[in-house]
Amino acid sequence: MSFEQQNILYATILLTAGLMSLTTTSAHAQQTSGAYTMYVGSNAISTETYTLVSEPEGGLRAEAEITISGRKQKTTTVAAKNRPVSFLAQSGDSTLISAAFDGSGVKLQIAGQSERQSSTKATVILENAVWHHFIFLFNQYDAEKGGAQNFSGFLPSQATDFDVKVERTATPAFEVEGKPAATERYRLVAGAVVIDVWTDHSRKPLLIVIEAQGVKVVHQGAELLADAILRPATAENSPGEEVAFQNGDVSLAGTLTIPKGGGKRFPAALIISGSGSQDRDGNPGALSFYKLIAEKLSAAGVAVLRHDDRGAGRSAMPKTPTTYRDLINDSKAAVQYLRSRSEIDPDRIVLVGHSEGGTTATIIAAEDPKIAAITLLAGAILANFEQLLLEQTIYQQALERPINPQDREKFPQIVRWLIARIAEAKAGRPDASPTDLREYLRQHLALDRAETFKQIRCPVLILQGERDALVLAHHAVAAAQALADAGNKQVTLRIFPNLSHIFTPASLDPGVAAEKKNEISPEVLETIQKWIAESVKREMTEQTK
């Protein structure tokens, strides 16, 4: 499961009277309050309620209560004239973090560590998983100037400054309960981490997506708006046939595109999504990558099935915890659905797996010799889930500053949460609710990818972004070599310079124009199209010999 890869809002109407209450506390101050919920996939892992008091002279004070996996803490943040003044995090009567800023310095006390004094250029405090801190950040953004603007954040738990670039990229509009909602979308880049945010007209964040960590954060009252942003695929606006098929008691909904020109049976591709709950287009986080692939392949005479993950879009929410084998069987059910269609050649079905979907594609190809070919998009991996999680975390942090890989207390909070779930999975703790991940993780950790590769005899295309911060490029090289060493003579590897996990320009590449930063590489799409078209032709030729 990868934790990656995104977007932000500007609402000209109030979506609900309870979105954020506003009261005047005095002639000089205004008080606002609200709440955020953080999700990893479909799992809600933290809630945050906050109260914010702003002064006309530029003072800003926020108090919040945050609950993560049942543990509560309180934070108090103070800023004046777009500069941090203090930050306090407490658990009960215990102080976890205390930071006091004075000019260009900060006096910092972290529980269990000696007090320290250090220099700082910070303009804003941005602590991990304290989502109302983004309000402080956007309060400093010059909306009239627009464009990319640079700020310096301070991360109290790691006692460090880091650069943050904020850029307004679009002003999209959405329909929510029959009413228009205009938004502002921003992209934040902090080191290797890309954060997409949608705000209202006052630049209050309503939706935050961090693809690289599999995280989405929704402001209370903006749930319907978040759904409208992240689930654009519908029967009305998605070309192709709306279809449904079953895996056990779970109904899965998707879109099947059939090329023009009847009277013959078409080869077909099944797109298998990466980790986390995504719709048929690959949202949130993948910039409709799967839809673009489907359009490209259909234009080349290949039918394409893509579907909403269980619990996303129009697919049903399961009543029991989802295991990794459940997800594999979802994809197997999709293959069987394709084979049941009279327009599809059952012997020319190609699997296109992105990220975790690549692992799923290799397992299915190893178990089903009738699969014609597989394409692994940032998903050719030999390492297990835990190894990948640690590697991507260390890599992303090391891009920002010198780190000690053993200092896991400085890992992002979501990573520490996942490490705790892995430990529970290893200890054999059972799942207790539909959103638990322990059996899913156990099954992932038990995979023997090298042994799986030995069973794959169909053609394999491996595409990799050289600047992928979630699945580093060396994994693609190792996987290609392992497949070749196992006797597969039809392995093709291509690594694209300066591209990310979803094959967009790398966030750290300064030479990319703003309008290109969210663009899926046309070369990648062309490569997928040509290789699959050639593979299914070759499969047809071999069958007729």
DSSP H helices, 252-306, are: 289-299
- pTM for this structure? 0.73
pLDDT in tens, 484-502: 999 999 999 999 999 999 9
pLDDT in tens, 233-260: 443 445 689 999 999 999 999 999 999 8
214 vs 476, higher pLDDT: 476
Average pLDDT over residues 36-45: 82
Nearest to 46 by CA among 69, 63, 72, 74: 69
pLDDT in tens, 366-411: 999 999 999 999 999 999 999 999 999 999 888 888 889 998 888 8
In this structure, the number of other CB atoms found within 10 A of the CB of residue 326 comes to 18
The answer to whether the beta carbons of residues 460 and 376 sit under 8 Å apart is yes
Beta bridge partners of 84: 79
In this structure, the number of other CB atoms found within 10 A of the CB of residue 113 comes to 11
Amino acid at 458: C
Question: How is domain 241-383+448-544 classified at the architecture level of CATH?
Answer: 3-Layer(aba) Sandwich (3.40)
Average pLDDT over residues 2-22: 28
Phi, psi of 143 (to 5 degrees): -65, -35
Query: For all residues of the chain together, what is the average pLDDT?
Result: 86
Tokens of 370: 């009738």
Q: Report the range of poorest mean pLDDT among 81-85, 112-116, 230-234, 243-247.
A: 230-234
pLDDT at residue 413 in the model: 73
pLDDT at residue 9 in the model: 25
pLDDT at residue 414 in the model: 76
Of all residues in the chain, the percent with pLDDT exceeding 70 is: 87
Grade residue 75 by pLDDT with cuts at 50, 70 and 90: very high
| Alpha carbon distance 504, 498 (integer Å) | 8
Tokens of 139: 């309060």
Whether the predicted pLDDT of 22 surpasses 50 = no
pLDDT at residue 443 in the model: 96
pLDDT in tens, 451-486: 999 999 999 999 999 999 899 999 999 999 999 999
- For CATH 3.40.50.1820, list the domain ranges present in the chain: 241-383+448-544
Nearest to 151 by CA among 172, 136, 133, 165: 165
pLDDT in tens, 418-445: 898 999 999 999 988 777 889 999 999 9
pLDDT at residue 286 in the model: 59
Contacts 24+ apart (CB under 8 A), 69-76: 69/45, 69/417, 69/420, 75/127, 75/130
First to last CA, the chain: 41
pLDDT in tens, 288-337: 899 999 999 999 999 999 999 998 888 998 888 899 999 999 999 999 99
pLDDT at residue 472 in the model: 96
